[in-house]
Amino acid sequence: MGANTAHVDTFVRDNLPPKDAWPEFLFDLPVLRYPERMNCAQVLLDDRVRAGEGARIALRAPDGECTYLQLAAQANRIARVLVEDMGLVPGNRVLLRGPNNPMMAACWLAVFKAGGVCVGTMPLLRARELTEIVNKAQITHALCDKRLEEELKLAMPACPTLREVRYWYDDAPDSLDALCRGKPEHFENVDTAADDPALIAFTSGTTGKPKGTIHFHRDVIAMCDVFPRHCLEPTPEDIFIGTPPLAFTFGLGGLLAFPLRFGASVALVEKLTPQTLIESIQRFRATTLFTAPTMYRQLAPLWRRAEIPSLAKCVSAGEALPDATRQLFKEASGIEIVDGIGSTEMIHIFISHRPERVRRGATGYALPGYVATVLDAEGRPCKPGEIGRLAVKGPTGCRYLADERQKTYVQNGWNITGDAYAMDEDGYFFYQARTDDMIISAGYNIAGPEVEGALLTHPAVAECGVVGVPDEERGMVVKAFVVLKPGVPAGEATAKELQEHVKRTIAPYKYPRKVEFVEALPRTETGKLQRYKLRMQG
Ligand code: 3UK
């Protein structure tokens, strides 16, 4: 690596971690042996058009659909605007900001084509968070949905590197839409090296400064060749749909890269609720759903199996899938959810399972291409059943942009995800908690998610979050924040009943000594429970 980069602006390459701080990478599987030069948009889009499949539908949306050929043409026009009107040179960082819609998808591909480095941002981010990201990644260009203009404009004065901004779904004469109309449909993709940076994925991060992980063109393709290839086996007839934003790598894979890699299509719908998600699955006849555990729980009571015949494959990630939710959704839909743990640092899912190889309570096994283990405090592998820190390596891995925390995530070549796990004799991995979320009460280690899982099997519970709160006598005690189903009274009797239920379901010492009833739980835009907010509420 080094000499053959296509990057003219080498800021990202210059700010990769030192090589000795990288995780070990594995490319043993034949399907993961990639050529030295690779532009991921070329692989996802142009190669398919060249193979004569340009007339297939690529994107579906409420206001129409477009073929692979049309998507390639639009990405080419945007790439020309980037290069010819906005002065982009390969290696420049481009901020992308929009809900999941066809222009957002085309912009991602356009930046890849032009050799730029994509930095997706969650639609709900505020000016302050945008400013931190722009300055950290020295972002020079931005493409933004007109409806999300406000916070970006507020951020601009504190973003000296950000020179060129264009808006789409906008009537102005210098809008991205207008500029595109004057461009030819062809563009010569920048001949990037497979290990040229293609995106910087920022973690939502509950606390502290945002961390950006650098992923290469090769990584975008590698994520397609592991999880979906093994667990979903997509065909060109598949229609993907789901909720994670494209700025979250869970969404970038599930709702853009995966469908394109397999010649399938994706239905992009903005701002989905449980009800509109079901309607959209029906309307687009979607076959493959990507969303978070809480959504599956909310979908279950609304599901009318006979009216949703198309859906066949469901993927859950972002946080642990409680077995109660898996069973509830299966009873309603007949579908066995595919759970999978992924991370921004690993780009996508590395432990998961094929639907028929599900094991109750487990996230799954290390997918082909990855190896995973559980390490004890000294860094030695744990015995089966013993709880330790999850460690993984494979074709993708963590490379933070100029960040000391590289040493925390990567140790001795392993990516350490920050999750406490146990592995059984057969290599199935059982999630316990985030390492720093383990509750230590009167000398016992208690995993909040296990208590949540027990509470969720009670019919009165809609949602819940379990954390440790300080206690003079026990150090910490287990406290449950519970959202009740409509009509259930929030009183002492219900609290007692839930405590007894937990004692009957799991080891009695794990029961929540404190129970508080709340209207809703604090969650991130990616569907994760914000436990630190619950801890602050005490
Ligand atoms: C947690 C899970 C238990 C776990 C992500 C799929 O979530 C993603 O990335 P993030 O960087 O968070 C990573 C952390 O989230 N987690 C994710 N999935 C599961 N815990 N079971 C799961 N199935 O703590 C992990 O370390 O936001 C997920 C694909 C791409 C992603 N970026």
How far does the centroid of ligand 1 lie from the alpha carbon of residue 491, in Å? 34
> What mean pLDDT do residues 8-37 have?
97
How far does the centroid of ligand 1 lie from the alpha carbon of residue 468, in Å? 21
User: What is the side-by-side order of every strand in the sheet holding 288-291?
Assistant: 64-67, 57-61, 265-267, 239-242, 288-291, 313-316, 338-342, 349-352, 365-366
Query: What are 142's two structure tokens?
Result: 């931005």
Report helix, strand or coil for 324: helix
pLDDT tens, position by position, 446-474: 999 999 999 999 999 999 999 999 988 88
Q: Which of 296, 316, 319 to mutate to test the pocket of ligand 1 (most atoms within 8 A of CB)?
A: 319
Q: Is the distance from CB of 286 to CB of 135 less than 8 angstroms?
A: no
Which residue has the CA at smallest separation from atom 9 of ligand 1? 343
Report helix, strand or coil for 156: helix
pLDDT for 467:
95
How far does the centroid of ligand 1 lie from the alpha carbon of residue 87, in Å? 36
From first CA to last CA, the distance across the chain in angstroms is 50
pLDDT for 537:
85
Q: Which residues of 308-322 are buried (b: 16+ CB within 10 A; e: fewer)?
A: beebebbbbbbbbbb
Query: How many CB atoms lie under 10 A from the CB of residue 509?
Result: 12
Q: How large a percentage of the chain has pLDDT more than 90?
A: 92
Which residue has the CA at smallest separation from atom 12 of ligand 1? 343
Q: Name the percent of the chain in helix, strand, coil, to the closest 5.
A: 35, 25, 40
Q: Which of 341, 428, 450 to mutate to test the pocket of ligand 1 (most atoms within 8 A of CB)?
A: 341
pLDDT tens, position by position, 143-161: 999 999 999 999 999 999 9
How far does the centroid of ligand 1 lie from the alpha carbon of residue 341, in Å? 5
pLDDT for 209:
84
pLDDT for 421:
97
Query: What are 96's two structure tokens?
Result: 């992308």
How far does the centroid of ligand 1 lie from the alpha carbon of residue 176, in Å? 34
How far does the centroid of ligand 1 lie from the alpha carbon of residue 364, in Å? 13
pLDDT for 285:
98
C-alpha neighbours within 13 Å on the C-beta side of residue 275: 0
How far does the centroid of ligand 1 lie from the alpha carbon of residue 493, in Å? 36
Which residue has the CA at smallest separation from atom 23 of ligand 1? 341
Across 317-379, the runs of DSSP E, i.e. the strands, are: 338-342, 349-352, 365-366, 371-375
Question: Which numbered atom of ligand 1 lies nearest the CA of 201?
Answer: 32
Question: Which numbered atom of ligand 1 lies nearest the CA of 524?
Answer: 27
DSSP secondary structure string for all residues of 262-313: TT-EEE--SS--HHHHHHHHHHHT--EEEE-HHHHHHHGGG--GGG--S--E
Query: What are 223's two structure tokens?
Result: 């994520």
Residue 138 has pLDDT above 60, yes or no: yes
CA-to-CA dists, residue 414 to 25, 356, 372, 394, angstroms: 9, 29, 9, 9
Residue with tokens 């002065």: 87
DSSP secondary structure string for all residues of 119-130: EEE-TT--HHHH
180: Cα separation from own chain's centroid? 30
How far does the centroid of ligand 1 lie from the alpha carbon of residue 189, in Å? 32
Q: Which residues, 6+ apart, have CB-to-CB distance to 507 below 8 Å? A: none
Which one, of 79, 21, 344, lies nearest residue 214 by Cα? 344
429: which strand partners? 364, 423
C-alpha to C-alpha distance for 457 and 452, rounded to whole angstroms: 9
Which residue has the CA at smallest separation from atom 2 of ligand 1? 319
CA-to-CA dists, residue 380 to 24, 350, 363, 398, 485, angstroms: 17, 21, 22, 21, 44
Q: Which of 256, 343, 436 to mutate to test the pocket of ligand 1 (most atoms within 8 A of CB)?
A: 343
C-alpha to C-alpha distance for 470 and 53, rounded to whole angstroms: 60
Query: What are 351's two structure tokens?
Result: 């432990």
Average pLDDT, the chain: 95
pLDDT tens, position by position, 91-111: 999 999 999 999 999 999 999
What sign results for the dihedral spanned by CA atoms 288, 289, 293, 299? negative
Q: Which ranges of 51-146 would DSSP assign to H, the alpha helix? A: 68-80, 102-113, 127-137
C-alpha to C-alpha distance for 66 and 57, rounded to whole angstroms: 6
Query: What are 527's two structure tokens?
Result: 């569907």
pLDDT for 206:
57
How far does the centroid of ligand 1 lie from the alpha carbon of residue 292, in Å? 10
How far does the centroid of ligand 1 lie from the alpha carbon of residue 374, in Å? 17
Residue 2 has pLDDT above 60, yes or no: no
Q: Output phi, psi for 448, to 5 deg.
A: -50, -50
pLDDT tens, position by position, 331-388: 999 999 999 999 999 999 999 999 999 999 999 999 999 999 999 999 999 999 999 9
Residue 302 has pLDDT above 80, yes or no: yes
C-alpha to C-alpha distance for 524 and 527, rounded to whole angstroms: 5
Measured from CB, residues less than 6 Å from any atom of ligand 1 are 203-204, 248-250, 317-321, 339-344, 348-349, 363, 417-419, 431, 434, 526
C-alpha to C-alpha distance for 240 and 238, rounded to whole angstroms: 6
Rg of the chain in Å (alpha carbons):
23
Residue 205: pLDDT band by 50, 70, 90 thresholds?
low
Which one, of 21, 390, 345, lies nearest residue 205 by Cα? 345
Tell me how far apart the 2 most distant CA atoms of the chain are, in Å.
72
Report helix, strand or coil for 481: strand
Q: Is the distance from CB of 258 to CB of 242 less than 8 angstroms?
A: no
